[in-house]
């Protein structure tokens, strides 16, 4: 099973991924947690270029670099793990590309889809959790000690995060459009809900996919029983 997490930067994916990993391990499900971009030696180098470069990478260059990293990860790590029956939790997948490079950078959807198709080897997530948050709240969360407006050239931000509020507004709209197109794959969550509430909703959605956990109400306590 492939479970992906999506949302703009600062939505709180990492906390929920950590909790889900722990819960699945308690159910004796073999889990592998990965993030994009990255996950192989080559993909980590590409991640460095994408996030740490001070260069003004072109939108198409950016698309191809994210896709190169993805092709490496899918072929060398994710597909082999799924073949041995592992559950893979992936922090971002191709929906990020549609939202960030498509809606955010303005790359044509059809062209973008061709590149995505090339990089995923037909792999699709079984379930995608989208944590929804406004860019303003996401940035306030990241800089909880500061107040808006936040300087988008802040050195604490990576190259993508420095793209500005309008960019993140377009990315969020992108996610909302993608979800309408493929509603059955997505579980939409309000990122401002309490972490424990979000976790409960996540395990309710994952439970039916876990052998021996067909009834979600059995597992909604999240205490592993
Ligand atoms: P990361 O530090 O992993 O961010 P987060 O914790 O928010 O997931 O950085 C990944 C960044 O790359 C993030 O800003 C989203 C962006 N991104 C794209 O623009 N396109 C993509 O296809 C992927 C996978 C990520």
Gap from CA of 159 to ligand 1 centroid (Å): 10
Query: How far is Cα 177 from Cα 76, in angstroms, rounded to an integer?
Result: 31
Q: What does pLDDT average to over the chain?
A: 91
On the question of pLDDT at 219 being above 50, the answer is no
Choose which residue among 37, 57, 125, 167 to substitute to test ligand 1 binding: the one with the highest number of ligand atoms within 8 A of its C-beta. Answer: 37
Question: Can you tell me which atom of ligand 1 is nearest the CA of 14?
Answer: 6
Q: Tens digit of pLDDT for each residue in 30-47?
A: 999 999 999 999 999 999
| DSSP β-bridge partners for residue 32 | 88
**Which residues lie below 8 Å from residue 188, measured CB to CB, with a gap of 6+?**
130, 132, 179
Stated length of the chain:
225
Which residue segments constitute the domains of the chain, with CATH numbers given? 2-206 (3.40.50.300)
- The answer to whether residues 41 and 73 touch, using CB atoms and an 8 Å cutoff, is no
Query: How far is Cα 203 from Cα 216, in angstroms, rounded to an integer?
Result: 8
Query: How far is Cα 33 from Cα 18, in angstroms, rounded to an integer?
Result: 9
Nearest-CA neighbor of 140 among 196, 191, 202, 103? 191
Gap from CA of 36 to ligand 1 centroid (Å): 7
Question: Can you tell me which atom of ligand 1 is nearest the CA of 11?
Answer: 7
On the question of pLDDT at 2 being above 80, the answer is yes
Across 64-87, average pLDDT: 98
On the question of pLDDT at 217 being above 80, the answer is no
Question: Can you tell me which atom of ligand 1 is nearest the CA of 161?
Answer: 14
Across 19-26, average pLDDT: 98
Query: Residue 6: in which H helix or E strand, if any?
Result: strand 2-6
Choose which residue among 96, 112, 142, 152 to substitute to test ligand 1 binding: the one with the highest number of ligand atoms within 8 A of its C-beta. Answer: 96
Nearest-CA neighbor of 131 among 186, 90, 189? 189
Whether 51 is in the pocket of ligand 1, judged by its Cβ within 6 Å, is yes
Q: Whose CA is nearest to atom 8 of ligand 1?
A: 9
Return the DSSP state at 225.
-
On the question of pLDDT at 56 being above 70, the answer is yes
On the question of pLDDT at 79 being above 90, the answer is yes
Gap from CA of 224 to ligand 1 centroid (Å): 31
Whether 174 is in the pocket of ligand 1, judged by its Cβ within 6 Å, is no
Q: Sorting pLDDT into bands at 50, 70 and 90, what band is 143?
A: confident
Whether 36 is in the pocket of ligand 1, judged by its Cβ within 6 Å, is yes
Q: What is the pLDDT of residue 153?
A: 61
On the question of pLDDT at 213 being above 90, the answer is no
Query: How far is Cα 98 from Cα 66, in angstroms, rounded to an integer?
Result: 11
Dihedral sign (CA 33, 120, 13, 97): positive
Radius of gyration of the chain (CA): 17
Whether 91 is in the pocket of ligand 1, judged by its Cβ within 6 Å, is yes
Q: What is the pLDDT of residue 130?
A: 98
Q: Tens digit of pLDDT for each residue in 171-198?
A: 999 999 999 999 999 999 999 999 999 9
pTM over 0.85: yes
Q: Whose CA is nearest to atom 11 of ligand 1?
A: 160
Rounded to 5 degrees, what are φ and ψ at 92?
Answer: 85, 140
Residue scoring higher pLDDT (38 or 151): 38
Q: What is the pLDDT of residue 215?
A: 54
- The answer to whether residues 18 and 170 touch, using CB atoms and an 8 Å cutoff, is no
Q: Sorting pLDDT into bands at 50, 70 and 90, what band is 105?
A: very high
């Amino acid at each position: 099973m492939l479970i992906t997490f999506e949302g703009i930067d600062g939505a709180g994916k990492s906390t929920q991924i950590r909790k889900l990993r722990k819960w699945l391990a308690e159910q004796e499900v073999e889990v592998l947690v990965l993030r994009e971009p990255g996950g192989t030696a080559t993909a980590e180098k590409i991640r460095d270029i994408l996030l740490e470069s001070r260069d003004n990478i072109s939108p198409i260059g950016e698309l191809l670099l994210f896709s190169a990293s993805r092709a490496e990860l899918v072929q060398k790590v994710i597909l082999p793990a799924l073949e041995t029956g592992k559950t893979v939790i992936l922090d971002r997948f191709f929906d990020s590309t549609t939202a960030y490079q498509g809606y955010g950078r303005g790359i044509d959807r059809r062209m973008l889809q061709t590149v995505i198709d090339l990089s995923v080897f037909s792999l699709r997530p079984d379930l995608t959790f989208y944590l929804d948050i406004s860019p303003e709240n996401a940035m306030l969360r990241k800089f909880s000690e500061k107040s808006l407006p936040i300087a988008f050239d802040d050195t604490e931000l990576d190259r993508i995060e420095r793209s500005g509020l309008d960019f993140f507004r377009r990315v969020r709209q992108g996610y909302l459009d993608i979800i309408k197109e493929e509603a059955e794959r997505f579980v939409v969550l309000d990122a401002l809900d309490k972490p424990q509430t979000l976790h409960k909703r996540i395990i309710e959605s994952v439970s039916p996919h876990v052998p021996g956990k067909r009834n979600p109400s059995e597992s909604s306590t999240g205490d592993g029983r």
